[in-house]
Structure 1
Amino acid sequence: MKIIGMHIYGYGQLDNVKINNIRDFQLFFGENEAGKSTIMAFIHGILFGFPTKQQSELRYEPKHNTKYGGKIIVLHEELGYAVIERVKGKSAGDVTVSLEDGTMGGEDLLKQVLADFDKSLFQAVFSFNLQGLQNIHQMNGEEIGKFLFSAGTLGTERLSKTEAVLQKELEARFKPGGKKPLINEKLLALQSLNGELKKASAKNQEYEALIEKKEGLQQEIVEIHGLLAGINDKIDKLKEWKKIQSFVKEEKWTKEEIDGLGEIHFPTRGIERAEKLNQLIHPYNAQVSSIADRIKSLKKELESIKPDPAFLNHESAIVTILDKIPVYEQLKQEKQHCEMKLKELEDKLTTIKERLHLPLDEEEIFSINTNIFMKNQVEMVSKKGQKLIEVKQELENRYQEEKNALEEFEKEIRAAESQIFSKQERERLESEVNGGHDKKSLEIELDALKDKIEFYHLATKRNKDTMASLNNQKKIQFFTFFLVLIGLALYSFLTKQWVLLFLSFLGFILIGTLMTKSTGQPKENEVNQTLNRLIEKEKQIIQKLKSAEYRNISFIEEQLKQDNHRREQLQMLKIKVEQQHNQYDKVISKFEEWEAQAAENKEKLLTISRELNIPEYIAKSFLLEAFQLIEQSKTVSREKRQVLDRLNQITLEQSKIVNGLEVFANQFLPRESLDLQNTAYLLRTKLKEEHEKQIKFQEKRTKLTDLEADLQQIIKERQHLQEEFTKLLNEANVENEQQYYELGTKAEKQGKLVERLEDIKKQLQYSTLHEAERENLLQIHNCDEIINKCNDEALNLQTHLKKLQEDQASIKYEIQILEEGGVYSNLLHQFKQKKFELEDAAKEWSVYCLAQDLLLKTVEKYKKVHLPRMLAKAEEFLFFLTDGSYHKIHLRESGTGFLIERMDHTLFEANELSQATTEQVYVSIRLALATTLYEKYRFPIIIDDSFVNFDSRRTQKVMELLKQLDQNQILFFTCHRHLLQYFQKENIISLNKGIVQIIS
């Protein structure tokens, strides 16, 4: 089945999106949040149903669209073209399937199209993403192999997780020899109850009779307790009445007094409120009189401290001119400084003219060109001239050095030629060396043989001494072990420990074997044979030296070597002479180049000196110094002009300050001739005085306003208090203050009686007697007599109760003796309950045990029947992905792991591979699972950015592998731009925030 198109009505952020002509090898490319995950979820949702609200998966319901769902056009191998449409409806959505022949249907027809695949199986086999690879990174070494095996069976790690869960559940319920598991605990408890039940069964009959007697006594005791409770309750009520009798009578008298006073209308706390108002009104009267006097006094003070408004109106101008007084002093100092600076500049100009010694005035100096270009030319010409002088000196030195070196080499060549052999003499010596034998080499070999023979003699003697000592030590050790084994054998025979006896016999055999080996002689024959060979060779060399005539030619060979060395030195000298000639010629050519550069530099120097009006004799030696003096002269002249301009500005600014100050002095100060500083001081003092007057005037005026406001406020508050007092008189319905206080006295008395009544009620509210009982008890006059009669009756009942309790204690003791740790019926009930719980736990354990057995049998069948074909395909894929570095995947003989074989036949467990290689194994197994075990279901393989951890080479290989899977459609989703190169342009669909575009 292949997906050839889709129309998304509304799904997540995608709204009315159509995608047509989906290829067999299709790429969906887009940045984050472009809609890739939404399209993948849309495919799963249309084919298998929308996620329900109870599931953890996102439903991708549109936020701005009422339409939810869409349709997918597929090409089925058997049914042809089919349109699968799913829209919002029931929890998973309403689906409609339309086939090419006109057949239409719902979920049943969709199951036929999808070959009864459910969502989980489809995602496990044909859809994988980065999460599967991340699961590998999060596992330890033991879990990786199981995860890969589980991925090869179900496509996910569910198999390994299921197996671990079953084993955990089994161990939580039962362990052989364990104590904490549930079944182990229940077995131990059942065994303990069984023993107690057998003991209690024998005494069951006697126990039942005692129980009946105990219950009868208990019933009678309960009845007596009831009678005692009634008598005690009556006694308690009589005692309580004795306590509250006086309060009840006082309560009755107080109510009668309150009724006698009648109804009084008086304000609450009226006397207190009236007195308080009188106390407040008197201070207010005193405050009104005091504030009025203070207001009159302040008005007189305001008239005496009124400031001069004309002077304050010119305040900003006066402050401005006063602030310039320090500036005037600064200008004065600056003027003195400028005058000194002007004198310095004139002296400096005089000095420069004397040093330059040219008949040039100031205007002619300004007309001379001293720009950057001219300065650069002067510096270059001067530096060039200096450099030419230095180069000339260096060339003269080099010329002399090269000439001396050449003459020295020629002398060495003549001396070397006189020391070497002639051609005829050398040929004669070489023929003598080639025709003779070297006596010295034979003598050296003879000396070496003698040293070896002496070494072997010493080694043979040392080995004999060492072996004798070792044999003695081993005999003592073997004899000691032999005695220990004899003792051990006798002990085991007497105590009948046959295993220990058998071990003793083995020890005898072992010691015998070791003694046989240790008594063997060392390998002396081999050493003697080697020694004999060396002695024979020594005799042959001595015979050879005696029987032939040898000549010692070492001297001749040494002479030839020296001659060869001299010839090599001569050859090197000739090469050096040739190189020295070249160096000599180079120095001559350098002299010619220097002369040309010197002439060119002289011409430039003369041109510049004419432009600067400098004589030639000065320019040749002091061109740069003269130019710098002219430049300094121009700089100093400009600075002199600037100083003169600044002096004029200072004089003008000083005049403005003096004139401005005189205007205000003539207007506001006495007519006196004062200097600048005194005038400024007087103006500043007057300004300060007027400011102080203004501040005091404002403060007094503000204070006057506040006092007037306070006076009005106090008058209002006094009036309010008087109104409150009038309200109190009206509320009491009296005409004057005297009547008010008389009525208040009666109200106060009535209030005290009410308070006392409330106190009595508070005392009586804690009494256990209610009001009706208190009315009845008022008729009783002798409570003590009734209380005594009740006490006598209670004493009789307690005496009888005590006898019954003693009988009950005796029966309880007998029952306790019979019980001995538990009642038979209770123990029997507990035993049956524990047995029932054990049976339930055993049934639950057997279910998990059966499930584990079925899972293991299923896995074993899968390993033998289906897994080999899948592994063969996975090996083929892995060989391709790793460029042949890994070529075999072996199944473990036990367990659920894999072993990976490298080309050098080294086996690795999954956790021993690198991260990238482990991912390659995982991808190989997943693709092999889809193309072998599920090859007849040719569903699209959906891949979501699963290769982001691969380098460029691994990425290229996995893309080539995917292109080879021509039986299944590949839908690849990615946000990585470097993967675009592996897809043709027509096979790329670009996503941009819900906008679909096919790259062309």
Structure 2
Amino acid sequence: MKIIEMHIYGYGQLENVKITDLADFQVFYGENEAGKSTIMAFIHGILFGFPTKQQSDLRYEPKHSTKYGGKIRIYHEEHGYAVIERIKGKASGDVKVVMDSGTIGGEELLKKLLGDFNKGLFQAIFSFNLHGLQNIHQMKAEEIGKFLFSAGALGTEQLSKAETILQKELEARFKPSGKKPVLNDRLQALHEINGELKKAAAKNKEYESLITKKEMLQQEMEAIIDSLQKIGEKVEKLHEWKRIEPIVKEEKWTKKELKQLGEIEFPARGIERMERLNQLIHPYHAEVISIGERIENLKKELEAIEPNLSLLENESAILTLLDQVPIMEQLRLEKQQCEAKLLVYEDQLAITKEKLHLSLDEEAIFAINTNIYIKNQVEVVSRKKQKLEEVKEELEERYRDEKNTLEEIEKDVRFAESQVLPKQERLLLEEQVGTENDKRGLEGELKTLEEKINLYQQAYERDLAATTSMKKQKRLQFFLFEFIFFGLIAYGLFTKQWVLLFLGVMGCIIIAIFMVKSKKPLENGEMKQTLNGLREKEILLKQKLQSAEYLDITKLENKLMQDNQRREELQMLKMKLKQQHSQFEKIVAKFEEWEVDSAQNKEKQLSISQELKIPEYIAASFLQEAFEFIEQSKSIYREKNQLLVRLGQINQQRAKIVEDLTSFEKRFLQEKGLDLHNTAYLLRNKLKEEHEKQIKSQERLGKLADLKADLKQKSQELKLLQTEHISLLQAAKAVTEQQFYKMGEEVEKKEKLLERLNHLQSQLQYSLLPEHVWESYLPIHDSEELIMECNLEAQHLQAKLKKLQEEHASIRYEIQILEEGGMYSDILHHYKQKKFELEETAKEWSVYSLAQEILLQTIDKYKNVHLPRMLSKAEEYMSFLTNGSYHKIHPQKSGSGFLVEGKDHTLFEANELSQATTEQLYVSIRLALATTLYENYPFPIIIDDSFVNFDAKRTHKVIELLKRLERNQILFFTCHSHLLQHFRRENILSLEKGAVLDYLIEK
């Protein structure tokens, strides 16, 4: 999978950032806080989801933008191109995947593209940073091997951590000779409790009989206590009856009195309401009479001041007319101005017709089309004509310049052709110089051949030494296996296990066959044959060099070089001549284009002149001016017509004002035949007088309406009071007020009895004795005597209880003596509890032990199945990084860790290597893990300044190694400018705060 481009909508400090055309080896350079970590987190976030708020990873939500997320375009070897977009939504964001094939999906499609990788596994395998190398710096010597093994298995140190944690947990729970671990401590405690349990078992029978007797006494004491409690409750109830007896008897008498009075129908607060009504009825009656008299007086006043309603109805029309009287003079002046303007417009029209020299009347002028399109065409044609004239002058000047330049270049070409050597003379010169070049070529070939012979000789010697060493190792291994199989044969014979005997014999035969085969000499004939062929070729080259003639041809070479320069100059001049011919032809072509444009413009000009009805000779020179005069004539005619319309309106308006004033004068004024201003003055005064009458009339009408409303209200209120008086008598079913007051006294007596009854019931409400038992206590005449009898019975029971308590205390003392070290049952319970705790701790220990066993089995399986292929690739990388100083990596025979073999076949543990070599080993293992075990998932490898501790040579080597990883795209992030010299300029992107720029190398 390769990332082609990224578009960051908003992520951390980066907003609306686009990065396109990412290379197979892409370098991101920027100073601290430039956005490198943000881009790495953006890639992880888009592919695997944004971190949730519960996780410790940074979410990189933008501070100044509402957009959060972005999209990445990728190329997948199997599925082709796709765009992965993730934006703010649910916890990890809303993702959308769009394939170029048209397929659209979400998380399921994304998982398919990523091969079900999660973020943790991706970072462990394909994401490098300085953290992994710093872990090596901080580790103890014995931990480095385990860490490297864990990195080779998972990409991180988790395997090593898991192994260490499991061992610590096991040792914290049990050690064979320890005391502090939990299992050891609980075993010792259980042993001690077991001894105490045996001692308590002997006294268990006597203890049980005492316990039985103690329980019987306990039951008898509880029965006496229950009887005492019942007697106490009875005494308490008798005391309570003694307190409430008089109250109960009074309540019974009150209920009897209320029953005798029976039910009385009487309105609530009847006496009070009757007295209040009598106080209100008399004043209301007097008020009604007074208001009636005032209404009659106001009616007489209204008849004397009635206004002229016909005049007031026409008030708005009269006032409007009176306001128009002052503008009569303005209308007269405006009429004079309009007549003067008409004369000016006539003069302007005459001047315009003289300039155009056209005999066109008003109708003909308005018939000419002067719309926006025609106006635009006039302007275009006029501008085009002026531009064509300017272009013509420019073309004529360029034509002269290009023609002169062409003639000068042709002259230079003819001179340059006369300076070069003839063809025959040049061939002879090249032949003489070629002889010397052959000699130099032979010398260079001989030197290369000698270096090649040395390399093959060294390789042959190394292979010979390695073969000898391998033979010794195999021989030692064969002898060891033979010894094991002989032991197996002896054990089978001794125990008569024939299967073991058979296996031992077969093993010895197989080992013998391998030993015979291994004794055959290894064939190195091909290497030796190549060396002999190279040496023969070396002899032939030396013979050729000895036979070659040595010529002093320095002058010939100079002459040939000079001729080469002249030929190059000639070639340049010919190219220049060709270009100049092209330029000249372009000028000629532009002249032809100009003539075509000029003809087209003249045709348009003729068409417009016919449209505007102007002569062709005027259109040729003054087309735009003629169009402007025609537009000006139209404008003058329009303004002239508007003035004529306005004059008619002025005359009509003046006549209307005079007519309306005369009409109102006849209807409302006594004086006739007055002038315009006197009539207006009298009409205004008449309106004022009628308004004053109307105001006075309205005031009187308002008072009259108020009095009528007041009279109506008072009459209604008086009627309501009289109705309520009758209702009160009817409610009490009384005929006279005297009978009404007598019934009120009886109601008052009943209310007092009810109030007393409520008071008595409130006193009895909180009594300890419920109401239903009061009747059973009423026959009691002397409650004090009953209380004394109950007290005597209680004293007798208390004496008996005291005796039982003393006996109970004695038995408890005997039991206490038997419980010296703790009772048997308590010790047995304690023993079982400790035994249970021991079993639970043992279960925990077995879980950790099983987990450790599974982890070791997994490590062994990894070492036997997957590790060899990964180590083979890691050895290749390690050899390259160390220039062959270390070329083999062996896993430890037991547990985890590696042994590294140097070029002199010395084996080193990881902690015996130098710091830099350990880091190179870590890089080799991590890269081998990504390119072998996960070769089917060629994801981009992300590296964040992981090699800053390397020196210049080691840095160069590791970058060269990364460039060889062709299947995986490399995204390299760095803040160190000295590393940029190792990369091509087009593969570097420079990061600044909030922006991504192309990197420019300063010259």
Q: What is the TM-score when the length of structure 1 is the normalising length? A: 0.45
Q: What is the TM-score when the length of structure 2 is the normalising length? A: 0.45
